[in-house]
Amino acid sequence: MRVTVESGDITKAETPCIVVNLFEGVTAPAGATGAVDRALDGMIAELIAAGDIRGKSGELTLLHTFGKIPSPRVLIAGLGKSSEFTVDKVRDLSATIARYMRGRRIAAYATIAHGAGIAGLDAEACAQAIAEGAVLGLYRFDRHKKIDDDAFAVESMSIVENDNAKTATLERAAERGVIVAEAANFARDLANEPGNVLTPTEFAARAEAMAGEFGLGCKIFDKAQITEMGMGSFLGVAQGSAQPPQLIMLTYRGGGESKPLGLIGKGITFDTGGISIKPNEGMQEMKGDMSGGGAVIAAMMAIARLKPKVNVTALVPATENMPSGTAVKPTDVLRAMNGKTIEVTNTDAEGRLVLADALCYAIQLDLSPIVDVATLTGAISIALGNVAYGVFSPSDALVDRIDAASTAAGEKCWRLPMFAEYKELNKSQVADIRNSGARGAGSIAAAFFLREFVDDRPWAHLDIAGVDFSDADKGVLVKGSSGIPVRTLVNLALGLAESPLA
């Protein structure tokens, strides 16, 4: 989808459809909506008076203009209550409108910057949100379906701004929105692929191809190299699969000699649970157990395109977790790259095992701060449902940065405690640490496990297991992989470029 910003009058836009808006409770449309109403001889005001248009959030009303303005159609979008309208709602509304246009087979449309006028929201933020929302909302994953000659795609959207002085700023904002949304859609593509297609080798190949396209450094470590590096924890998970493991490393250099931000992503391309096998219910979703790895790779794509003055390194340990005669067993002891021994009490707690060695390597590479992203625990869904992902960190300063980045992205997060008492959950009688503790506080125990491998670096762990998948289209979310938290990670890198972590 092509997104542009144009200077002019929305009533004069020559396009198949124009979009204006209305807040709930407004009886006399003003601004661009009022201008369209006057051009249509009061048609919108009449429908408001009749109760056919109420301005409720998500309400969409399509009118035909019968030649009174150049566009043959006008869509009035309900914004809901003005006191509750936010940039997040702009983003979701834009996604809903884009899907509506596709359903009506409208190939192109023009819209005003929702919220930037009467709602008083920042015009630049609104332009970015409109672009993001449209690109995210139109996403679909159909590459394995028979080609449908009747499939319809929305080709373009323009944001019309009547103030010439703002056009260049809004253009940059919209371009930024397209870039981060396309990155999130790339992460969705990776996570939506079936496990027999996105093997660890294919995962690495796609990361390498993307790196080549956008000018990132890339190195792929094979099993022999991973073994030579002493990554026994990672290899313990990989040993049950016929598919060879891969360690993916991407690098972006824009910040001179500063220490790189480390983005570490769990890359389990299919998770059966291993010997501690999962139940059949929900197992099909385990093709997305590499969503954390996909998110950090996709974030690197956007970072490469936006070119912030910061250094970033991404690491993704990629493997399957399979049951077999060679698979790791409960009670086995593995040795991580930093020499710590790990008692495996549950082979389905494999994500923390592969991340442990990746975190050790991040320390060896002198990355700081370090943020790992993983669909790590089912317990996080019990705590936070599918609304927010969990954040764990001993660093208040880093959590504040992540919170600001996620708020700007509209990807909700919530910090959970790391009280010292929780560390006891991972005590082992036969090794330095065990990989799975008691039933209670499972997400916190997992975070404490990971903390064992980051020394004293500023570090945060994002558990995205509750938000990585959507079962319906709603706002920017579409059925399947959510692409969360790609946009948060990009915002974090942009923020650190402007103001490094103290």
Point out the catalytic residue in the list 99, 102, 352, 401: 352
Is the four-CA dihedral 92, 47, 13, 168 of positive or negative sign?
negative
Give the Cα separation of 19 and 455 in Å (integer): 53
Residue with the two structure tokens 């940059």: 172
Give catalytic status of residue 423 as yes or no: no
Q: What are phi and psi of 65, to 5 degrees?
A: -95, -15
Residues 6+ apart with CB under 8 A from 352: 374, 376, 435, 446, 449, 450
Instruction: Dump the DSSP string for 80-105.
Output: E-GGG--HHHHHHHHHHHHHHHHHTT
Q: What is the DSSP letter of 140?
A: -
Dihedral of the alpha carbons of 79, 82, 87, 91, in degrees to the nearest 10:
-10
Counting Cα atoms < 13 Å in the Cβ hemisphere of 125 gives 17
Point out the catalytic residue in the list 278, 415, 423, 457: 278
Instruction: Dump the DSSP string for 425-481.
Output: GG--SSSSEES---STTHHHHHHHHHHTTSTTS-EEEEE-TTTSEESS-BTTB-SEE
Give the Cα separation of 160 and 141 in Å (integer): 30
Residue type, 114: H
Pairing of strands 267-271, 73-80: unpaired
Give catalytic status of residue 352 as yes or no: yes
Pairing of strands 261-265, 370-374: parallel
CB atoms within 10 A of CB 54: 15
Give the Cα separation of 124 and 366 in Å (integer): 36
Give the Cα separation of 488 and 194 in Å (integer): 26
Give the Cα separation of 334 and 341 in Å (integer): 6
Give the Cα separation of 160 and 130 in Å (integer): 12
Crossing angle of helices 442-451 and 351-364, in 10° steps, is 30
Three-state SS for 68? coil
* Residue numbers annotated as active site: 278, 352
